[in-house]
């Protein structure tokens, strides 16, 4: 188990006896990741791994699946019946009275809410208090290694290069009067990913005008939208290096298909830019002064700028998300809207900052996205340079 000493230190500092990892048929991917179960392992029965505050982790596995886990759990206890499962859990926890599991009171952090209510009831029936493992999950699954940080930085710079190339591609077509659509730009970006040896789990977002006002818009090959002079253009892309433990980078830039954007578009862009920078400044000031800062606090700092400009109801998603080996990781999100994420920004985690203002009735959507990493005593923006002005694509 990776980071066992750090996990156990956090268990101890949290006043816990241990962390009970539980899964049934893949419902808890956090348990697989933390326990180190290899992807593709055939597990069709309930299993548990108990990480005590002191000592070695212990396993409880169905008798027919002990062999499949022998490499990582050579001393696993086996059960067959439901009665043996219940008593096995009791023995596994060894008299523990307070344990963490993947639960989230009130559903506050859905990414950590992975254990079904019935199993939680069972554990509580053994006279054990169950508390959320949200903070432990950050330490075990959201902290980047030095190698992951370096890989993320490389992926970030590769994405910046792809963005520049994509805008140049659009500009060349517009200036030459050649036809161009969202799909063709998306295909160009994916070709650039292959050329630069980075990979993604989903094609990038290429969106013009009202499509940019739909945060999760996806271009359609069967209904491609042309890109024309005077259009507002959003490019949102995410990718990582091809290694299994590589960390994603995730950015969004805005362009205008002309030489002079309308005042309305320019004004909305400036509000989003100011909100983005306010979030980074707030987090950086807190971290540099040694103060704790929660994800919800950063979201508030960003959202206050948007509200003050009169666009509060048009900022309809959280400010940012955790980034890891999945583009949306299991660490702290910058969120006091969709959820209230009270988890702290701790050293070693990465996250996006991506405020947006969406005005579909005006055909305007502006989002700017950058990535940040919490270093010891500072916040590093890993996706430099920051976009300061709309990229002008010089036609019309």
User: 395 vs 103, which has greater pLDDT?
Assistant: 103
User: What are the strands, taking DSSP E only, across 197-307?
Assistant: 205-208, 232-239, 249-256
Give the pLDDT band of residue 394 (cuts 50, 70, 90): confident
Domain with CATH 3.90.230.10 in the chain: 144-392
Residue located via tokens 């926890």: 93
- Pick one of 3.40.50.1860, 3.20.20.70, 3.40.350.10, 3.40.50.720 as the CATH number of 4-141: 3.40.350.10
Q: Which two tokens mark 167? A: 């805008």
Q: Two tokens at 67?
A: 């062999």
Average pLDDT, rounded, for the chain: 96
Polymer length in residues for the chain:
396
CATH class for the region spanning 144-392? alpha beta
Q: Could you read off the pLDDT of 178-228 as tens digits, one per residue?
A: 999 999 999 999 999 999 999 999 999 999 999 999 999 999 999 999 999
Whether residue 396 is predicted with pLDDT greater than 80 in this model: the reply is no
Angstrom distance (rounded) from CA 137 to CA 37 = 16
User: What is the spatial distance between Cα 144 and Cα 248, in angstroms, rounded to a whole number?
Assistant: 11
Q: Is the peptide bond before 298 cis (omega within 30 degrees of 0)?
A: no
pLDDT band of 1, cuts 50, 70, 90: confident
Q: For the CA atoms of 157, 251, 365, 395, what is the dihedral angle to 10 degrees?
A: 20
Is residue 162 pLDDT above 60, yes or no? yes
Q: Kindly report the backbone phi and psi dihedral angles of residue 37, in degrees, each rounded to the nearest multiple of 5, phi listed first.
A: -75, 125
User: What integer pLDDT is reported at residue 395 of this predicted model?
Assistant: 57
pLDDT score recorded for residue 2: 84
As a whole number, mean pLDDT of residues 298-309 equals 98
- Torsion sign, CA atoms 283, 289, 290, 291: negative
How large is the average pLDDT for residues 165-171?
98
Question: What token pair was written down for 335?
Answer: 């969120």
User: pLDDT of 217-264, one tens digit each?
Assistant: 999 999 999 999 999 999 999 999 999 999 999 999 999 999 999 999
Give the pLDDT confidence score for residue 274 in this predicted structure: 98
Token representation of residue 11: 């268990």
Give the pLDDT score at 79: 98
- Start-end of CATH 3.40.350.10 domains in the chain: 4-141
Residues 127-142: tens digit of each pLDDT: 999 999 999 999 999 9
């Amino acid at each position: 188990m990776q980071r066992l000493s750090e996990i156990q230190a956090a268990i101890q500092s949290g006043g816990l006896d241990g962390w009970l990892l539980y899964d049934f048929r893949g419902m808890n991917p956090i348990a697989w990741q933390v326990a180190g179960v290899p992807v593709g392992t055939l597990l069709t029965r309930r299993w548990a791994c108990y990480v005590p505050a002191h000592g070695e982790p212990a396993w409880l596995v169905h008798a027919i699946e002990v062999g499949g886990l022998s490499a990582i759990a050579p001393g696993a206890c086996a059960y067959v019946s439901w009665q043996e499962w219940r008593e096995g859990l009791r023995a596994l926890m060894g008299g523990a009275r307070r344990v963490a599991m993947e639960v989230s009171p009130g559903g506050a952090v859905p990414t950590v809410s992975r254990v079904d209510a019935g199993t939680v009831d069972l554990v509580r029936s053994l006279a054990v208090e169950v508390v959320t493992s949200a903070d432990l999950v950050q330490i075990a699954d959201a902290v980047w290694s030095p190698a992951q940080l370096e890989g993320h930085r490389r992926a970030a710079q590769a994405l910046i290069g792809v963005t520049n190339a994509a805008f140049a591609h659009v500009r060349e077509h517009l200036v030459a009067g050649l036809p161009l659509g969202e799909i063709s730009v998306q295909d160009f970006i994916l070709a650039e990913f292959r050329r630069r040896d980075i990979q993604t789990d989903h094609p990038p977002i290429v969106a013009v005008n009202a499509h940019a006002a739909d945060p999760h818009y996806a271009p359609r090959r069967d209904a491609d939208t042309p890109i024309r002079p005077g259009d507002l253009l959003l490019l949102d892309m995410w990718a990582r290096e091809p290694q299994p433990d590589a960390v994603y980078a995730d950015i969004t830039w805005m362009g205008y298909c002309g030489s002079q954007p309308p005042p309305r578009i320019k004004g909305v862009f400036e509000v989003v830019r100011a909100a983005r920078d306010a979030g980074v400044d707030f987090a950086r000031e807190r971290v540099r002064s040694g103060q704790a800062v929660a994800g919800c606090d950063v979201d508030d700092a960003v959202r206050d700028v948007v509200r003050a400009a009169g666009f509060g109801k048009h900022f309809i998603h959280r400010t940012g998300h955790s980034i890891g080996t999945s583009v949306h990781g299991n660490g702290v999100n910058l969120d006091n809207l969709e959820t209230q994420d009270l988890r702290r920004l701790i050293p070693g985690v990465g996250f996006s900052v991506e405020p947006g203002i969406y005005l579909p009735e005006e055909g305007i959507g502006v989002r700017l996205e950058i990535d940040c990493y919490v270093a010891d005593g500072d916040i590093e923006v890993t996706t430099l340079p920051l976009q300061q002005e709309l990229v002008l694509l010089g036609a019309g």
